[in-house]
Chains A and B, each alone.
Chain A
Amino acid sequence: MGMGVSVREAIAKRAAQEIKDGMVVNLGIGIPTLVANYIPSNSNVMFHAENGVLGTGPAPIKGEEDPNLCNAGGIPITIVPGASYFDSTIAFGIIRRGLLDITILGAFEVSENGDLANWIVPGKIVSGMGGAVDLAQKAKKVIVLMNHTDKHGNPKIVPKCMLPLTAEQCVDLIITDMAVIEVTDQGLQLIEVKEPYTVEDVINATGAALHVADFVK
């Protein structure tokens, strides 16, 4: 994504604050995966993996990886007490039934009404949607983690997505390298600005209208 390790970690750390004790949470590939590192070890969060695990734990110690115990990205994991294994239809049954409290995903574009585009750039990135459509459409809360702008500096938060949508009006919260933005019925609400950026920097890097919350300086 062209962002430094510390920026990725800062985004992941901020996202972790959204996760409360007892939640069932799915983390996408990339920065979202890092979020698990910032959850207090005594919290009872059940992380869900689309291949068929509820209750994934930290990465195993090097040399103790089990090829038959991996997350949806094919990366070795461990499990926590209370974990379960099931087939992929049950994994998606948990998603479709609305039992995920939060899903954390990446994005190419997010629109001001919360439309999400994150699976296809026609003619360029055509890797398939995987579980993104199911997750975006059905999780109770959808959090997007991404760079505020693309590598050319163009806004990724836009009035209307130009790319095909993953799901309509699904995004609840956007956490970027510059800001935290809520998607509300009244439009986008800027609730946090990250140092060293200013409110003006964020507005200039955003393609859609932003309402600046009173408490944001």
Chain B
Amino acid sequence: MTKVQSIQEAVQHIKSGSSLMVGGFGGIGNPPTVIKAILESGIDELTLICNDAGFPHIGIGQLITKGRAKKLVASHIGSNPNAGKLMHEKKLDVEFSPQGTLVERIRAGGVGLGGILVDIGVDGLVAEGKEKVGVNGRTFLIEPPITADVAIVYAKKADTFGNLVFDKSARNTNPLMAMAGTVTIAEAEEIVPVGGLDPEEVVTPGAFVDMVVKSEGVNWAWAWE
């Protein structure tokens, strides 16, 4: 049994109107080949869940720039002016969460928890409209978990069972998103047979991963190039 699929097969699981989690941080670790396939398809009206809005022509930023998203759940959009512009034009609904809270909510969704208790922002704007709870004399916000219809992640290596190994700082939010998709598609630079990964080096167990696709590599110029 193998979870390896063609990019065309995999992308059929992403429908217009889906919630889509995209692993990565500042474009780094966004899965380039799946994003390219989404751009080439007619998929739109997406609810994107990502650390940030990427850069205008890098990673997830391209989906926002091309108007494929109706909503973005993120911690920061400053690196992609198109996101701010669309937000002000009311063409993109943006929901902000502090970065640490956002990633922990995604992890919570991925591991089947009912939410997290966190005191980040408990006295400020972040707390507006949120329920509070006291534990051991401290006050926490109740932050709900996040899952998505589909999660797309980028890995350095995958085996055919879907075990994933990441690459340096491109690990970032990828292992968290990989756990939180109802369907998880992992794009890997290299795909090896089962037994080809040292179990000690596996970061994401293959049980969380539904499909593995071969990466064609990054097809954009980086902001610093």
By a beta-carbon cutoff of 8 Å, the part of chain A in contact with chain B is 49-53, 65-77, 85-89, 91-92, 95-96, 120, 126-134, 137-138, 164-168
Contacts and interface: CB of A to CB of B under 8 A. Distances in A.
Contact of A133 (B104, B126, B174): B126
Contact of A49 (B156, B169, B224): B169
Nearest to A94: B100
A71 B25 CA distance: 9
B98 A85 contact: no
Nearest to A67: B222
A51 B98 contact: no
A99 to B, nearest CB: 13
Contact of A95 (B78, B100, B168, B218): B100
A186 B67 CA distance: 52
Contact of B75 (A52, A85, A131, A166): A131
Nearest to A137: B120
A76 B120 contact: no
User: Which 4 pairs from chain A and chain B are nearest by CB?
Assistant: A92-B100, A127-B78, A74-B26, A130-B76
B223 A74 contact: yes
B20 to A, nearest CB: 18
Contacts of B126: 129, 133
Contacts of B123: 165, 167-168
21 contacts: A51-B172, A52-B25, A53-B169, A67-B218, A68-B28, A74-B25, A74-B26, A74-B224, A85-B169, A86-B171, A87-B172, A87-B173, A87-B175, A88-B51, A96-B100, A127-B78, A128-B74, A129-B76, A129-B98, A129-B99, A130-B75
B29 A68 contact: yes
A126 B84 contact: yes
B34 interface: no
Interface of B: 25-29, 51-52, 55, 74-79, 84, 87, 94, 96, 98-101, 103-104, 107, 118-121, 123-126, 156, 166-176, 203, 218, 222-225
B168 A87 contact: no
A70 B28 contact: yes
Contacts of A72: 25-26
A44 B103 CA distance: 29
Contact of A51 (B26, B74, B222): B26
A52 B96 contact: no
Contacts of B121: 129, 133, 137, 167
A133 B172 contact: no
A56 B174 CA distance: 20
A182 to B, nearest CB: 23
A89 B104 contact: yes
A128 B76 contact: yes
Contact of B28 (A74, A85, A134): A74
Contacts of B156: 68
Contact of B27 (A65, A74, A165): A74
A119 to B, nearest CB: 9
B221 to A, nearest CB: 10
Nearest to A29: B78
Contact of A166 (B26, B124, B223, B225): B124
A201 to B, nearest CB: 32
B76 A167 contact: no
Given A68-B170, A164-B125, A167-B124, A92 B52 contact: no
Contacts of A134: 98-101, 120
